[in-house]
Structure 1
Amino acid sequence: MTSATLSSHSATHTPQRSALAVLTLGAIGVVYGDIGTSPLYTVKEIFGPSTGLAPTSDNIIGAVSVILWALMFVVTLKYVILILRADNRGEGGALALTALAAHAVAHRPRLRLGLLTLGVFGATLFYGDSVITPAISVLGAMEGLEVVSDDLKSWVVPLSIVVLVGLFLVQRFGTAAVGRLFGPVIVLWFVVLAVAGLVHIVEQPQILRALNPMRALQFLHGSGWHVFALVGAVVLALTGAEALYADMGHFGRAPIQLAWVALVMPALALNYLGQGALLIGDPTALENPFFRMFPSSWVLGVVGLATLAAIIASQAVISGAYSMTRQAIQLGFLPRMTIRFTSAREMGQIYMPAVNWVLLVGVIGAVVGFGSSSALGGAYGIAVTLTMAITTVLTFFVVREGWRMPAPLAWGATALFLLVDGLLFVSCAVKLFDGGWFPLALGLAIFALMSTWARGRALVMESIRSDGVALAPFIASLDPTDLQRSRRTAVYPVANPEVVPQALLHNMKHYQVLHDRNLILTVHYEEVPWVPAEDRVAVQDLGHGFWRVSLRFGFMETPDVPEALSLAEKQGLHVPPFETSYFLSRETVVSTPGAGMAGWRERLFAAMSRNARTAAEYFRLPDNTVVELGTRVQI
């Protein structure tokens, strides 16, 4: 921002308001697509066979009251007011919060390791959400066809698969063009939700008793053991709450909060009240209360709009899965993968082929395997509620250790949120064998991959350190007259800057040559989303034509090594791009008996290592400057 801009308050006021409006519209389209499609199936599941709840007036009012106050407590109070404040330099999400919590307890290594493990496990549960959200949202929208005609029921699953396959196929082209439509479409969706609900509220105003929180408490208290099945269904209204925090880096805290208060929460409340009013007047509408809110001539149009909203909700979690995977790679929990940038202007718009096709297989499997939104409802809650509980625990350490809030306040708020999270999780856990196992199994499988990769990389570093030659004595022992010098620059990317790179030893052994300038390069990923340009590079002159260069990147950044090395000029190190070669050591991991990891994990790590994307591609090294030399590493 220039000084001229700052000189006039009136000049900045309009652009700031305009920017806030644009960001708020974007937040409505991307952030709230998931929670915005919950009315498609939530009320139907609350009065479904699994809960045994009769659609009497008192039960309907009580159930709607529980939905409204769950939204108020969990989404508004916990996420919108509290957790959105826990930003990691503007970024949010499971891994950003994990890094923030780990940094807050950096002086307690064991606790830090425990929080990192807990946070990574919480992040893996997001992949279960990325599979189930597209499946349940699109199925829920397509089930509106059953209201039009029973003959269309057999078309619900096939048409859902067609829509989902099309959605995943277009990912490679990017979402910039479609993204411009997200906000207006979802705004229209929420307006339709609100108007439809208001019409039925006017017909049955007694539903407004649900606004009294005492009706929710009385209803829960009087439900007996059925309360767990009931609350497990209410969780469906809360799905998407994590997206408020995960997408904070894209839109900022204020637009997300404004969108929730001004449009999303009122529209959801009116629609849930309207569905309750409809059921009070016509209990037979229970088969599909959402679509029965509309005249029969409107249903096909609403199905089309609901399908668009479901696609947008699905797009949000698919894009989130790409972003989460990239963060996990940067933090060292997954091997390098191919990342394609689909926009020349927006670095956050990426496409990851491997993640895309794995998600597609999982989503199609969920649609075919479960067959309906009701069946998928049983699979939805466990992963979401467990993630909510993990978020609460991590936030406690940020609030208490990072912000230094008073202990009674931090402990009291955490205990209250954990009590609610615990009730939600236990209520969903009763559906473990009705599909709840699916996202848990998926999350555990991905956690096994992540933990195996992180542990395997640590073992590789230990092996290289134990077998390597210390760098400082090696440089001191060099005799400039023994080796021919090449008048070029050699860059040796290494994980351990204290030992001599294997590629350098190979160069000297086979070619009897040493370059004029030798850069021992290490790339570090910090537990922050972005690293300022002035902190990007650190240079240390080791003598005899050797420099130790350290590059720092945040977990949201794309590492571009040549561009970063150009910043070393300010520290007296000139790296001419056309006179520089990059020598990479490509490690072949060999599993051996002994300490380390279990045999199957070592073999898994070796397979992941073989299939990882090359460092040359990942660090954006020019193809004609790279020389790869192989080395075997035993773990």
Structure 2
Amino acid sequence: MHTQIMQAHNKQAMTGLTLAALGVVYGDIGTSPLYTLRECFTGHGMATTPDNIFGILSLIFWSLIFVVSIKYVVFVLRADNHGEGGIMALMALARHYVTHSARWKVVLLGLFGASLFYGDAIITPAMSVLSAAEGLEVLSPSMQPYVMPIAITVLVGLFALQRFGTASVGMLFGPVMLAWFSILGLLGILQIVQAPGILAAVNPWYAYNFVVHHGIGAYLTLGSVVLALTGAEALYADMGHFGKAPIRRAWYGLVLPALVLNYFGQGALLMLKPETIKNPFFLLAPQWALLPLIILATLATVIASQAVISGAYSLTRQAIQLGYSPRMEISHTSENEIGQIYLPFVNWALLVAVLVVVVIFKSSDNLASAYGIAVTGTMLITTLLFFVVARVNWRWPLPLALGITIFFGIIDTAFFSANLLKLFSGGWLPLVLGMVIFMLMTTWKQGRKLLFDRLREQALPLDSFIENLESYPPTRVQGTAVFLTSTLHGVPHALLHNLKHNKVLHERIVLMTIRTEDVPYISDESRLEVVQLSPSFWRVVARYGFKEDPSVLNVLALCEAEKLAFELMDTSFFLSRETIISTERPGMARWRERLFVWMSKNALRATDFFQIPTNRVVELGAQVEL
């Protein structure tokens, strides 16, 4: 009886997770039918002949099978970093095991893939919401002037609500997307029964015949076929929130069948009425159902946008923890879900970028030219990093790892190169965005390394310094002084400045270093390392995962178990606040040094980021020349 109850409970929990995954993970790929088939024809002047309809449908179907169903759902979901997924988690997993000489190549690949994701996070809300609002033109052509204002209003409202978190509205995501996918499948079935012969498009011969007969035209069409795959990366990125099983169940059980039925239903409609190519998705619905469908489509696109916005928050936090971004304010919007966070700077920067994109491109047709490069670039990088993990981490035989990588690499390269041909008609946008963010990330990482090198040059050896102070102590005062330091060897500059200017030393000195590891989470048992260096000096090393928020107060609480107790009102925290000056010394280019100085000035203060009580902090300035 107990076993049956447990099985029922587990089944109920799995159903709940599957529904939640349906809402969060599949919003982007689930709204692709709004524009994909239309763009395949209108974007390249392809005639709506039966051969072309069958060929393009076959390309879409087999792309969904090979790229999503096999590559991501079967293979890439296996590459979890302690349960977490996404391009940064994959990069951290891959670089952890490769040789030092190959590590920088893995890092550069991962960083560029992450940078392209931000381009996707800007284009997806603009493309999706515009596509849904354009359904009003089908309802009545006189509504055309209102499409852009409505899209802008929806987008501003979406970003304005972010600070309240997705905890409350998140429960609606699953049921809404369940209704959305059910309607997708139903609309497709209703049209397929009128032209059942369209189902023959599952035969890959039609895709092959289309490519052979159209040559460069078919190659160009791949740039639009890939729109059916947008959001596939979310399967992997959101694995940590739901787990592999719910994501796989939702894909095979509902999402894939609903998408295929809808695409084939649009194909059947085009076979009967080729003129419906102007908007085959909304023209699937009878006139009376058009307005409810537009409302449901708008809700679905908002959910799709929410998924990439949340992904941008998560990716930024990972970049901060791994040392590729300045510290920023991070707010937790849920008491129960650790992954639900809000970054004000990222939120408003995304909104401004999205609105600029909407105003510049004006319609989803124009935006389709920009959409695809970011997605396919990230897909190709994921394939390359997967090879590293399969070969180095899992020890797969070279023929197996190489064979899988080459197969999926050819598909990804075909899609990516086809989208590159759209470079001058809008494809430049995600590439420019990606390259700017890549430059910012690498500048911050290199600048921090250069700063630490300069500080290390000036640092005194720690061992001899402690030995000298214990032998010839200065005036000691009551209490504990905690000095935050990034190095384990040199004397912290704040300690030197305090001793130099105040001529006193606290009776107990704690040198605290907070490190971020290449794993998402660290258990409390493995978090802390406490070493007594002398009668009055202690070293504390705290380790955090790249999906955790470091907290000095949490570290102090854990220290009690290591026989190092703290009385907070008797403890002072000393931080060094560097004033960085760009110089002609070898290091980085002067413009990058100036950029790094600007980023440093605008970074969140260490006091706030490490959650240190502000009334117990003493900041001591230091001037550092790069």
Deviations 1:144-183 (A, max 9, x none): 0010111111111111001000101111111111101000
Identify the match of residue 15 of structure 1 among 6, 9, 31: 9
- Give the deviation of 1:481 after TM superposition: 5.8
The answer (yes or no) to whether the contact 1:34–1:313 under 8 Å persists in 2 is yes
User: Partner of 1:379: helix, strand, or coil?
Assistant: coil
* Counterpart residue type for residue 22 of structure 2: I
* Counterpart residue type for residue 29 of structure 1: G
Counterparts of 1:508 and 1:465, CA distance in 2: 19
Residue 326 of structure 1 pairs with residue 320 of structure 2: no
User: Partner of 2:368: helix, strand, or coil?
Assistant: helix
User: Partner of 1:47: helix, strand, or coil?
Assistant: helix
Q: Which residue of 1 aligns with 2:33?
A: 39
Counterparts of 1:304 and 1:104, CA distance in 2: 49
The answer (yes or no) to whether the contact 1:27–1:183 under 8 Å persists in 2 is yes
Instruction: Identify the range of structure 1 (543-552 vs 266-275) with the bigger mean alpha-carbon deviation.
Output: 543-552
* Pairing 1:111-190 to 2, within 5 Å after superposition: 111-190=102-181
* Counterpart residue type for residue 320 of structure 1: G
Identify the match of residue 78 of structure 2 among 82, 85, 88: 85
- Give the deviation of 1:600 after TM superposition: 0.6
The answer (yes or no) to whether the contact 1:65–1:213 under 8 Å persists in 2 is yes
User: Partner of 1:346: helix, strand, or coil?
Assistant: coil
Q: Which residue of 1 aligns with 2:388?
A: 397
The answer (yes or no) to whether the contact 2:329–2:604 under 8 Å persists in 1 is yes
Residue 73 of structure 1 pairs with residue 66 of structure 2: yes
User: Partner of 1:177: helix, strand, or coil?
Assistant: coil
Identify the match of residue 486 of structure 1 among 454, 460, 477: 477
Residue 99 of structure 1 pairs with residue 97 of structure 2: no
Deviations 1:97-128 (A, max 9, x none): 001111121xx112011101110111011000
- Give the deviation of 1:11 after TM superposition: 3.6
The answer (yes or no) to whether the contact 1:537–1:565 under 8 Å persists in 2 is no
Deviations 1:240-271 (A, max 9, x none): 00000000000000000000000000000000
TM-score between both structures, scaled by the size of structure 1: 0.97
The answer (yes or no) to whether the contact 1:228–1:426 under 8 Å persists in 2 is no
Give the CA RMSD over aligned residues: 1.1
* Structure 2 runs not aligned, ≥5 long: none
* Pairing 1:584-599 to 2, within 5 Å after superposition: 584-599=575-590
- Give the deviation of 1:280 after TM superposition: 0.3
* Structure 1 runs not aligned, ≥5 long: 1-6
Q: Which residue of 1 aligns with 2:558?
A: 567
Deviations 1:193-252 (A, max 9, x none): 000000000000110111112222222222211022111000000000000000000000
Counterparts of 2:473 and 2:572, CA distance in 1: 22
The answer (yes or no) to whether the contact 1:475–1:544 under 8 Å persists in 2 is no
Counterparts of 2:465 and 2:187, CA distance in 1: 77
* Counterpart residue type for residue 218 of structure 1: N
Instruction: Identify the range of structure 1 (160-169 vs 538-547) with the bigger mean alpha-carbon deviation.
Output: 538-547
* Counterpart residue type for residue 101 of structure 1: A
Instruction: Identify the range of structure 1 (489-498 vs 211-220) with the bigger mean alpha-carbon deviation.
Output: 211-220
The answer (yes or no) to whether the contact 2:211–2:219 under 8 Å persists in 1 is no
* Counterpart residue type for residue 171 of structure 1: Q
* Pairing 1:307-326 to 2, within 5 Å after superposition: 307-326=298-317
Identify the match of residue 499 of structure 1 among 486, 490, 502: 490
Counterparts of 1:356 and 1:293, CA distance in 2: 36
Counterparts of 1:194 and 1:209, CA distance in 2: 18
- Give the deviation of 1:570 after TM superposition: 2.3
The answer (yes or no) to whether the contact 2:498–2:620 under 8 Å persists in 1 is no
The answer (yes or no) to whether the contact 2:582–2:593 under 8 Å persists in 1 is yes
Residue 626 of structure 1 pairs with residue 617 of structure 2: yes
* Pairing 1:226-305 to 2, within 5 Å after superposition: 226-305=217-296
Identify the match of residue 458 of structure 1 among 449, 459, 470: 449
Instruction: Identify the range of structure 1 (11-20 vs 614-623) with the bigger mean alpha-carbon deviation.
Output: 11-20
Identify the match of residue 207 of structure 1 among 177, 198, 218: 198
Instruction: Identify the range of structure 1 (264-273 vs 561-570) with the bigger mean alpha-carbon deviation.
Output: 561-570
* Counterpart residue type for residue 352 of structure 2: V
* Counterpart residue type for residue 582 of structure 2: S
Deviations 1:479-505 (A, max 9, x none): 466422222111111111211111111
The answer (yes or no) to whether the contact 1:29–1:187 under 8 Å persists in 2 is yes
Q: Which residue of 2 aligns with 1:576?
A: 567
The answer (yes or no) to whether the contact 1:228–1:428 under 8 Å persists in 2 is no
The answer (yes or no) to whether the contact 2:76–2:236 under 8 Å persists in 1 is yes
- Residues 74/479 of structure 1: CA separation in 2 closer, same or farther (3 Å cut): closer
Residue 538 of structure 1 pairs with residue 538 of structure 2: no
Deviations 1:68-114 (A, max 9, x none): 11000000000000000100000000100001111121xx1120111
- Give the deviation of 1:53 after TM superposition: 1.2
* Counterpart residue type for residue 63 of structure 2: A
User: Partner of 1:250: helix, strand, or coil?
Assistant: helix
* Counterpart residue type for residue 575 of structure 1: F
* Counterpart residue type for residue 74 of structure 2: I
The answer (yes or no) to whether the contact 1:194–1:267 under 8 Å persists in 2 is yes
- Give the deviation of 1:569 after TM superposition: 2.2
User: Partner of 2:403: helix, strand, or coil?
Assistant: helix
* Counterpart residue type for residue 198 of structure 2: I
Deviations 1:322-346 (A, max 9, x none): 0000000000000100111112222
User: Partner of 2:45: helix, strand, or coil?
Assistant: coil
Deviations 1:396-434 (A, max 9, x none): 010011001111110111001110011001111110001
The answer (yes or no) to whether the contact 2:116–2:430 under 8 Å persists in 1 is yes
Residue 24 of structure 1 pairs with residue 18 of structure 2: yes
* Counterpart residue type for residue 64 of structure 1: L
* Pairing 1:605-624 to 2, within 5 Å after superposition: 605-624=596-615
* Counterpart residue type for residue 49 of structure 2: T
Q: Identity over aligned residues, as a percent?
A: 54
Aligned length: 626
Counterparts of 2:568 and 2:242, CA distance in 1: 37
Counterparts of 1:368 and 1:510, CA distance in 2: 57
Counterparts of 1:99 and 1:503, CA distance in 2: 32
The answer (yes or no) to whether the contact 1:134–1:313 under 8 Å persists in 2 is yes
Residue 64 of structure 1 pairs with residue 57 of structure 2: yes
Counterparts of 1:131 and 1:414, CA distance in 2: 29
Q: Which residue of 2 aligns with 1:194?
A: 185
Identify the match of residue 52 of structure 1 among 45, 58, 65: 45
User: Partner of 1:594: helix, strand, or coil?
Assistant: coil
- Give the deviation of 1:379 after TM superposition: 0.5
Instruction: Identify the range of structure 1 (211-220 vs 549-558) with the bigger mean alpha-carbon deviation.
Output: 211-220
Instruction: Identify the range of structure 1 (226-235 vs 247-256) with the bigger mean alpha-carbon deviation.
Output: 226-235
Counterparts of 2:615 and 2:337, CA distance in 1: 28
- Give the deviation of 1:440 after TM superposition: 0.5
Q: Which residue of 1 aligns with 2:428?
A: 437
